[in-house]
Amino acid sequence: MLILTCPYCGVAADETELSAGGEAHVKRETVGADDAAFEQYLFQRENSKGIHFERWRHAAGCGKWFHAARCTNTLEVFGTYSAQTLEPPKNITDAISAARPGWTWRNFS
């Protein structure tokens, strides 16, 4: 079972207490964006096998949204952090790199 620690209230919650919100760090298109950019925002996701950054909501707890870094193959959780963070914290990317040498992913900014 997947267990994530909410970075706000500190509770280690299993997946029945959480709501998944899709991929994290997706740049939202705003007013004035062309159709191609909006289509990219709506439909193009990493959906990778392996390391993945996701949005989660502590639905049965504090109700806040947060991000989690985990491996979709093994359910190994590398860490959770605030949803207001624009890119994963260095300690989490360092933990992923230590566990998966040669790991790379897209630019977060």
Q: Tens digit of pLDDT for each residue in 70-86?
A: 998 998 999 999 999 98
Q: With CA atoms as reference, report the closest residue to 53 among 70, 77, 72.
A: 70
What pLDDT was estimated at residue 30? Answer: 76
45 or 102, which is more confident: 102
pLDDT band of residue 107 (cuts 50, 70, 90) is: low
The model's pTM: 0.84
Q: Which residue in the block uniquely carries the two structure tokens 């500190």?
A: 10
Q: H-helix or E-strand containing 94?
A: helix 90-99
d(CA 5, CA 88): 16
The pLDDT of 91-97, averaged and rounded, is: 93
List CB contacts of 48: < 8 A, sequence separation 6 or more.
Answer: 72
Q: Contact 28/40 with Cβ under 8 angstroms?
A: no
